Structure 1
Amino acid sequence: MSPSATSRQPLTEFLGGRTRAGDERSLLEVSDIVLRFEGVTAIDTVSFEVGPSELFAIIGPNGAGKTSIFNCLSGVYRPESGAITFAGESLIGRRPHAIAKLGIARTFQNIELFANLTVLDNLMLGRHQHIGYGPAAAMFYAGKARREESRHREVVERIIDFLDIENVRKAPVSMLPFGIQKRVELGRALAMAPRLLLLDEPVAGMNLEEREDMARFILDIKEELEIAIVLVEHDMGLVMDIADRVLAMDFGRQIAIGAPESIQQDREVIRAYLGEQHESRGGES
């Protein structure tokens, strides 16, 4: 069981979407982006926006362009045309580390942790972009360096508490169950103090209990920390339960966008994606 909201509250002193009063404009705006690879169109004129503290999901069959969108948002790919802005800043042409510094953190389908390091050390690595001193400063201003390191450690310890992984904080990641490793990866992304989280299939490979735990933590991040989330996920039950809005894609095209209820009833979505699962279950609803 995760800690109570009361015990988690201090984490908001260090993290959170930092939405300001009167600042209700879109946090992320994607306008008509196009991405091609050797003549193959991976993203075909896709547009959407994500508000502060919104949980926005992207769904579609394999090859629909979901991960390509994430790669454009995180600076791995550069769209051929279109615009992407985050908090008023253009992301086009920025490198991944520069985009991370703006306040965007990402998790991946495949876990990308340092297996031989402890949970604590992996999360501390998420604080690297907030470290304001180098080796020389640490040598000549040891007191300041220690105070800053202490503050980073406090942030990480509160994230560990938030994600209910205190009992494994000193364990090497390689020794942990898969579901806990995914939680550690989420914690490392939180350690970057993002305003926007990009979660790429966060429950892939998990059992039912692990999926339910992860869904709860994702909602807590949105509701308690007020961090916006863009979620790519194949688990339709999870998406429809927790997303505020959903973008459905097929062959790189945007085929529908709206509330989960409307997406579930959209004929083109049912044909392109939901229908595949429906038919594979023998017509069960």
Structure 2
Amino acid sequence: MSVLEVTDVRLAFDGVVAVDGVSFEVGEGELFAVIGPNGAGKTSIFNVLSGVYRPQQGTVRFRGHDLIGMRPHRIAAQGMARTFQNIELFSHLTVVDNLMLGRHNHMRYGALSAFLWLGKARAEELKNRAAVEEVIDFLELEQWRRYPVGLLPYGVQKRVELGRALAMEPKLLLLDEPVAGMNVEETEDMARFILDVREELNIPMIMVEHDMGLVMDLADRVMVMDFGRPIRTGTPAEVQQDPDVIRAYLGEQHKSVTP
């Protein structure tokens, strides 16, 4: 069963085509990767999915809901969460407070109840705190829980960003270059956590990433883009052997790779 169905999406800005006839689907529990050179349209696809951009053509259906024209906060409420290439955390807030921000869609009490600290607000706060504690344990963030995020190592900050998305209890997770700027050890840690998200939480994911080793190791299927158009979608082994993909992106050294 498909979680997400994208059909013939086209997005242009003042005549410049960013996404041109893109179609793909993502199944339950699948890790679907999108790769391509800079400017290929990868982030534009994420912006279409999350409601930042509205395409001129095509359809996007997420668990039966048509997302075209829906505002980003409404899409998030449907269960789509996103991390960002450039960390979008509140640097002066602690890890716990940043993760609590991911619970906003699950907070059912109003400002008055919160101000007076009435029973409903208190019960909701405890429930959301418990959910955040599960994320902290899952991503092994316990030792940093009370630290301001801005004081943490870069790789840990990226992990906190993943944690904030997981705190939303997503039905689909968009990972925008999750290991960008990381060293080898940090990349290996993030790869392990991404696998845990798929295998233990069974959350389907779409990942945009330039680290080809990570993509080929983790992804179930890969869509390769060039100049806004998909040139091949298939398993990592199939994509690595495609002459058009080698020519457009992977490079001559990949010709000798065997499935």
Normalised by the length of structure 2, the TM-score is: 0.96
1:87-146 per-position Cα deviation (integer Å, ceiling 9, x unaligned): 000000001100000000001110000000000000001101110011223356711211
**Could you say what secondary structure the match of 2:180 adopts?**
coil
Name the counterpart of 2:226: 250
2:134 maps to which of 154, 158, 179: 158
1:107-118 equivalences in 2 (<5 Å): 107-118=83-94
**Could you say what secondary structure the match of 1:112 adopts?**
coil
1:139-189 per-position Cα deviation (integer Å, ceiling 9, x unaligned): 567112111100100000110010001000000001100000000000000
Name the counterpart of 2:161: 185
1:69 maps to which of 41, 45, 66: 45
Whether 2:120 is the aligned partner of 1:144: answer yes
What is the distance in 2 between the residues matched to 1:140 and 1:236?
52
1:264 maps to which of 215, 218, 240: 240
1:14-44 per-position Cα deviation (integer Å, ceiling 9, x unaligned): xxxxxxxxxxx20000000000111111111
What is the distance in 1 between the residues matched to 2:151 and 2:181?
17
1:203 maps to which of 168, 179, 189: 179
**Could you say what secondary structure the match of 1:223 adopts?**
helix
**Could you say what secondary structure the match of 1:146 adopts?**
helix
What is the distance in 1 between the residues matched to 2:115 and 2:8?
50
Report the residue type matching 1:59 in the other structure.
I
**Could you say what secondary structure the match of 2:166 adopts?**
helix
Name the counterpart of 1:236: 212
Whether 2:41 is the aligned partner of 1:60: answer no
Q: Which runs of 5+ in 2 are unaligned?
A: none
Normalised by the length of structure 1, the TM-score is: 0.88
Structure 1 residue 55: Cα displacement: 0.2
What is the distance in 2 between the residues matched to 1:143 and 1:94?
34
What is the distance in 2 between the residues matched to 1:137 and 1:176?
34
> What is the alpha-carbon root mean square deviation over aligned residues?
1.4
Structure 1 residue 284: Cα displacement: 9.0
Report the residue type matching 1:29 in the other structure.
E
1:33-112 equivalences in 2 (<5 Å): 33-112=9-88
Q: Which runs of 4+ in 1 moved over 3 A?
A: 138-141
Structure 1 residue 73: Cα displacement: 0.2
Whether 2:197 is the aligned partner of 1:224: answer no
Name the counterpart of 2:100: 124
**Could you say what secondary structure the match of 1:105 adopts?**
strand
Report the residue type matching 1:38 in the other structure.
D
What is the distance in 2 between the residues matched to 1:242 and 1:146?
41
Greater Cα offset, 127-136 or 104-113: 127-136
What is the distance in 2 between the residues matched to 1:206 and 1:155?
27
What is the distance in 2 between the residues matched to 1:140 and 1:172?
27
Query: Identity of aligned pairs, percent?
Result: 67
**Could you say what secondary structure the match of 1:75 adopts?**
coil
What is the distance in 2 between the residues matched to 1:155 and 1:50?
26
What is the distance in 1 between the residues matched to 2:246 and 2:35?
12
What is the distance in 2 between the residues matched to 1:121 and 1:140?
20
